[in-house]
Structure 1
Amino acid sequence: MNQPTTPKPKFYDMLHSNNAARIRLWLRLTHNTEKVQTIMLTHSGIESPHYKSINPLQKVPALVTENGLHLFESSVILQYLQDYFSSSGEEDDDDDDKRNLILDTPSDRAYINLIIRCHDLYIASPNSTQPNFSHTQGCMYLDPNPTKYTPKRRTMTTSVRAAKLKELYQQLCWLEANCRVEKGGSYLAGEKMTCADITWFPTACFMEILLPKVFGWTPIFFPPNDDTTKEIKVNTTAAFPKLTAWFQYCCTNQHFALTRNEIRSVLIDDHAANGRFQGVIEDVQSHSEYKW
């Protein structure tokens, strides 16, 4: 008699969501992509009653476990997946890519947790579910008025946008000062990849495109050549030289590069076709009294 198969966890993703991309990137790096069922959402899908029953916050990512538990918040989902697959008996210690991306000592693990926590609290989360509370990263793309991309509850005033941009800059300065990126490029903690890298990298992909496009910043992450197998040439005159070296180093990994291309394709193509960020650009350009 055939034994019933255990349902796969269901991962609710969105191609250009940085918080969902963290999970997608981890699944790729650990070769677990085929072991979950991925449901790729659109803006309309997030607003659907069905998805609201899974994640009442109507954000991505979300995950339904093999026994039907509904999870949201990317850090919670990532911890679950690490536990789930490490207890499945399928890890291969000889496969360099199959790892939990965790450092060895309590001090180093606390350091990584601090980097992740700063990202999640001060960049990627509004820390409130009430209308018009938005995450810091939203200053780059949330419209000042309702659009098909920005419902009324998520619109952002000019003064709030300026304050959040300042916060974003300060968090980048902190990360630049405190990361352990080695000369010539490495991961945030040094030679070993960790969950800090897969947390910050998708958000950095947003910054790479939107900080120059929306606010007129000098590019802060200088991408490598299209052929990422070529030697990396770090521009040491960048505003954030260590983070630039880190970003380019990550892009030499095929899974990071693919994730970057997915995010870029949506942001660039959507703006070209639909003027996705035009409302934000006009808001910034019409308020020179703020420091952008």
Structure 2
Amino acid sequence: MKKKTIGIFISIVSLIFISVFIYGTGKPEYGSDFSSCHGTPSNISIEITGSEEISANISSYINFTIIATGENLFVLSMPGIFDNDLFLDLPTDEITDNSLLDLDLTPNIIEVDFNITTPATEGYYTLFIMAAKESFDGDDLAYVSVYVTVGGIDGPPPSTEDSPLALFLANYNYYLGGLTIIFLSIGIIFFQINLSKKRESKIHGIFMIIGFILTTVNIFLILNDTMDFTFKSMELTNNQIISQLIHTIVGSIGYITGIVVLFGTFTYVPGSKMKLFAYIMLLAWTFNFVFEFFMPTGG
């Protein structure tokens, strides 16, 4: 039984590393806040008519024009991204094709004048402006970054490339999820050993508590990011809604069974009665971890 349990643990850890490898090589990374200058899907384009680097005085007035092309598009200066919230008088709502703020009435072309007031503090700032399909699915997206130098600052602006640490932190949910599965798997090994040898040791509970805490932190961080990104900008597609629903249901099952396992462990409920709950918790969270790599959840 011990060898079988260790084999399950090794299989789960291997699955985690394989998933991370496939995700990292199969999908492009945009960094913590979309670090590239442009997104370039084949069916959408976006550009600024002048220079992407603008110098201005403190609290001064500047303007530039953005042109986006593609079917069923909207243009948005997304709140909460980069330094967008530090500028005033930007159109912050979605600008759709042939709407009042669209200066080009040609179908599938959106031209928008952005009139802004710069921040009251000198420094380097970045504006993020995106064009995406109204049925946004996460892939039909193009964007441009406008770099604004405010005040009499000498020298070039800092690099716009994310540091390795920033790129690492941008994918925190995968690392926390992976660590959760590892700690739960270790806890299951000790749980199974204690069960087979009829021990009353609670060491497995320590590993499960760590995994439970990591999951709780991950949930709140993901919810915060999802609220900022989704409710301020765009609706989810049907596929994303279904994926989110599956993710939420399975995750909730894992979380509820996790509470049962932890409560039972430290109130001396016999291990034989907790075995099913422990394995449901591990399987549910492992499923969600792998599911996140291959299905669009919109988070």
Q: TM-score, normalised by structure 2?
A: 0.29
Over alpha carbons, which structure has the higher Rg? Answer: 2
Higher strand share: 2
Q: TM-score with structure 1 length normalisation? A: 0.29
